[in-house]
Structure 1
Amino acid sequence: MDIQYRSIMPADMQELVRLIRTELIPMSYTVSPDDATVIAGLPDRFRSGATIVASPKNGGKLLGFIHYGQLQGMLHIDMLVVNPQHRRSGIGLKLLKQAEQNGKYARNLMSVLYVDDVNEKARRFYTREGYEPVRHHPELKVTLFTKPL
């Protein structure tokens, strides 16, 4: 399958929300999949940073996406999701590397992200890619990971 990595388009929003609802929110201790406030706030959240999506070149459902922002010399990875049918294909790694490259280009010195405690696959993925856990937040059941860029 030929895959393209591109910026978000308005037509992507429905699939982005679906991926967040089915893949990210169930991992979260603080958010419910039926939390209308969180879902309603997603368009604003996407406008507040940059999003790269992976999709088939010939069209079809999104394969994954990464959303990130930049603040005070840090790249903040907000969300990274790969459709379960396409995991272990390198899509997540390619999305992460593109965001990190964009962060370096913008002169960010460090990349930061939070991983839910129950998301062991994500913890292993980020550790393999050079991220280190630096602070656990037991009240939110998440761990802050960082990586120098």
Structure 2
Amino acid sequence: MRQIRYRGHRPDDLPTLIRLIRTELMPMSHTVSPDDPAVLAELPDRFDSGRTIVAAPEGGPPLGFVHFGQIHSLLHIDMLVVDPASRKHGIGLELMRRAEREGTLGGSLMAVLFVDDVNEKARRFYAREGYEPVRHFPDLKVTQWTKPLRSEGQ
């Protein structure tokens, strides 16, 4: 059985999340390398600066995670990744909806995220979930996407 929980319940959470970032997110980035020691050294602090929800088998290491933060009425989805072997089971969707719900409960009116231009699967996923591209940054090769969030009861 799969559980959704906050990061930190298991000692292998952080190493597993960093592995997922190195293997799944960083290779798509135009601005960082999976072997950049400065970027890797900053990841633990980056996780501490927001909230991270993981999907994991009962008592097991994370299969995927979403990391996000809130600034006033804005929910910033920083990272969402699911291990390739665990995709196509609704994990990414469940994680995203949990982050959006937390944002809504915290007073966020809008969600914002950035997608690397080469990440076509992510672009399709976010479009299906109601996100719209609003601004392209050609030098960084990313696009900003937004989605209005509904308050509870609407």
TM-score, scaled to structure 1: 0.97
Displacement of 1:60: 2.8
C-alpha deviations, 1:70-116, integer Å up to 9, x for none? 01310000000000011110000000000000000011000000000
C-alpha deviations, 1:111-132, integer Å up to 9, x for none? 0000000000000000000000
Displacement of 1:69: 0.3
Matched letter for residue 36 of structure 1: P
Aligned to 2:23: 22
Matched letter for residue 44 of structure 1: D
Aligned length: 147
TM-score, scaled to structure 2: 0.94
Matched letter for residue 22 of structure 1: T
Runs of 4+, deviation exceeding 2 Å: none
- What's the Cα RMSD here? 0.8
Aligned to 2:152: none
What SS is found at the alignment partner of 1:147?
A: strand
What SS is found at the alignment partner of 1:33?
A: coil
Q: How does 1:113-128 map to 2 (within 5 A)?
A: 113-128=113-128
What SS is found at the alignment partner of 2:20?
A: helix
C-alpha deviations, 1:44-65, integer Å up to 9, x for none? 00000000000001x3331100
Aligned to 1:8: 7
C-alpha deviations, 1:4-52, integer Å up to 9, x for none? 0001016111101100000000000000011011110011000000000
- CA distance in structure 2 between the aligned counterparts of 1:60 and 1:70, rounded to whole angstroms: 28
- CA distance in structure 2 between the aligned counterparts of 1:14 and 1:114, rounded to whole angstroms: 24
Aligned to 1:38: 39
Matched letter for residue 6 of structure 1: R
Residue identity (%): 64
What SS is found at the alignment partner of 1:77?
A: strand
Q: How does 1:94-113 map to 2 (within 5 A)?
A: 94-113=94-113
What SS is found at the alignment partner of 2:17?
A: helix
- 59-68 or 126-135, larger mean C-alpha shift: 59-68
Aligned to 1:47: 48
Q: How does 1:126-145 map to 2 (within 5 A)?
A: 126-145=126-145
- CA distance in structure 1 between the aligned counterparts of 2:124 and 2:35, rounded to whole angstroms: 28
5+ residue gaps, structure 2, are 150-154
What SS is found at the alignment partner of 2:22?
A: helix
Matched letter for residue 57 of structure 2: P
